[in-house]
Amino acid sequence: MSNTLSKATKFAVMNTYGRFPLTVVKGKGSYVWSDLGEKYLDYTSGIATCNLGHVPDQVQAALQEQLNTLWHVSNLYHIPIQEKLATTLTENSIFDVAFFSNSGAEANEAAIKLAKKYAKDQGKEERTEIVTFKQSFHGRTGTTLAATGQDKIHEGFTPIAPGFRYLTYNDAEALEKIDNGRTTAVLLELVQGEGGVNPVDQTWVSELAQICKENGILLMLDEIQTGMGRTGTLFAYEQFGIEPDVMTLAKGLGSGFPIGAVLAKDKVAASFTPGTHGSTFGGNPLAATAGYATVKTMLAENIPEHVQEVSAYFFSKLNELKEIYPEIKVVKGKGLLIGLEMEKAAGTYINALREKNVLALSAGEYVLRILPPLTTTTEEIDEFLKQFAEVMMESEHSN
């Protein structure tokens, strides 16, 4: 365990995180190094954020150049690199325009505001509710924690913001409850990340999209974790044959530099007129530069296609391990957003892997979440599999 943090430093930072006993001081590609010089295979990617790996060369070079040019001017002025990023995102999606924020929670806040304003502008004053789903996760701000369908996220913060209804994900009966005359939008993840790595059912989401279309309800996708190539396409919605009206992004958009985005179709975005929403830092020259370099690199190097190839290999090998070790109950997910439903608490395996210099996460109490950089290789996957197999053997022998 690192001993470099002083007592004063520990107390100077609020105790809002259950931190692992590890201090990371350097990263490159799929690896990070501790303050003690130990090298770790990082299959957390900063929680699905360092999609091009740590400190990718192209993004680093672009940021270095921008650091020497301009950092901040506010959104009172035109920012050319912000426009280039918006154009690249819209040209590679079904959306028309973008709004930039600093985080995923802020992007979801903006989407929620946009849905409410759109309903008012359509003369539908009675449309005040947004449907989300149980086990969802949309952020930790006052409004986005209310949008999140998990009691544990609400605990201690009641009364939470009104205006949200939680239905059951992938449930046929839930579809019958979407439109109750007060619903203005549906907000969902195509793979529930924090809620347990639960992929959406194709037939169910197709029916949901049709219900929204027929009833004038906005379909809003939270692609903060599933977007930016993580599931094998630039955006996950491309794999489901649906047309959302609004989509939120963050995490992998800036290769670790804080940036979020809301993409929307013109008819919806028209409700955001000057003065209705804004951000001092959102889409500033540094953030937009990181975002633009990330997206251009991802497209130029066909990263989503690489994800399809290596994830097929990874899933096949994990399913082979599942046949050997009964403690692995379910292998699930999409692309390189992978969940292993385990017999024991996920923390048991996370700690054991860390002792073998491999980093992984949880998604709920019993789901081990694996989030490699999208640039990871089959050799690195084999390295993970070797260490994970050893953890499983040791766990089996300890029973």
Count CB-CB contacts under 10 A for residue 82.
21
CA distance 255 to 286: 12
The count of other CB atoms within 10 Å of the CB of residue 180 is: 10
Domain match, 227 and 309 both: no
Angle between helices 303-324 and 378-398 (to 10 degrees): 20
Task: Please check whether residues 331 and 359 belong to one and the same domain.
Answer: yes
Q: What per-residue confidence (pLDDT) applies to 117?
A: 98
Domain boundary among 274, 300, 326: 300
- Kindly state the tokens that stand for 285: 């020259």
Please tell me whether residues 273 and 326 are part of one structural domain. Answer: no
Answer yes or no: is 165 within a domain.
yes
> Comparing C-alpha atoms, which of 165, 141, 167, 163 is closest to residue 154?
141
Do 338 and 192 belong to one domain?
no
DSSP character string of 293-327 = HHHHHHHHTTHHHHHHHHHHHHHHHHHHHHHH-TT
Q: How far from chain centre, in Å, is Cα 91?
A: 21
Same domain, 319 and 273: no
Domain span at 247: 61-300
Residue 94 belongs to domain with CATH number:
3.40.640.10
CATH of the domain at 324: 3.90.1150.10
Residues 233 and 344 in one domain: no
How many of the other CB atoms lie within 10 Å of CB of 269?
20
Domain boundary among 282, 300, 318: 300
How far apart CA 217 and CA 183 sit, in angstroms, is: 7
| The pLDDT value given to residue 396 | 85
Tokens for 164, please give them. 């949200």
Decide which of 252, 269, 300 is a domain's last residue: 300
Evaluate the omega torsion of the peptide bond into residue 159 and state whether it is cis, within 30 degrees of 0. Answer: yes
Q: Which residue has the tokens 């789903």?
A: 133
pLDDT of residue 340: 98
Domains in the chain: how many in total? Answer: 2
pTM score, whole prediction: 0.94
Do 344 and 363 fall into the same domain? yes
pLDDT confidence of residue 86:
98
One domain for residues 271 and 331: no
As a whole number of angstroms, the distance between CA 76 and CA 170 comes to 43
Please state, in angstroms and rounded to a whole number, the distance separating the CA atoms of residues 164 and 272.
Answer: 21
Residue 354: inside a domain, yes or no? yes
Q: What is the pLDDT of residue 64?
A: 98
Are residues 257 and 363 both part of a single domain? no
Helix count and strand count (H, E) for the chain: 14, 17
Instruction: Report the C-alpha gap between 388 and 386 in whole angstroms.
Output: 6
Residue 391 lies in a domain: no
In order along its 399 residues, the chain shows pLDDT tens digits of 444 554 445 578 899 998 999 999 999 999 999 999 999 999 999 999 999 999 999 999 999 999 999 999 999 999 999 999 999 999 999 999 999 999 999 999 999 999 999 999 999 999 999 999 999 999 999 999 999 999 999 999 999 999 999 999 999 999 999 999 999 999 999 999 988 999 999 999 999 999 999 999 999 999 999 999 999 999 999 999 999 999 999 999 999 999 999 999 999 999 999 999 999 999 999 999 999 999 999 999 999 999 999 999 999 999 999 999 999 999 999 999 999 999 999 999 999 999 999 999 999 999 999 999 999 999 999 999 999 999 999 998 886
Whether residue 50 is contained in a domain is answered as: no
Pair (200, 286) in one structural domain: yes
Q: Is residue 32 part of a domain?
A: no
Is 243 a member of any domain? yes
* Distances, alpha carbon 82 to alpha carbons 47, 89, 277, 297, 347, in Å: 25, 11, 17, 16, 40
Q: Are residues 296 and 352 both part of a single domain?
A: no
Q: Which of 317, 366, 311, 354 is nearest to 333 (CA)?
A: 311
The pLDDT of residue 9 is 54
Residue 276 lies in a domain: yes
Domain check: are 294 and 306 in the same one? no
Helices 285-300, 57-67: axis angle to 10 degrees equals 150
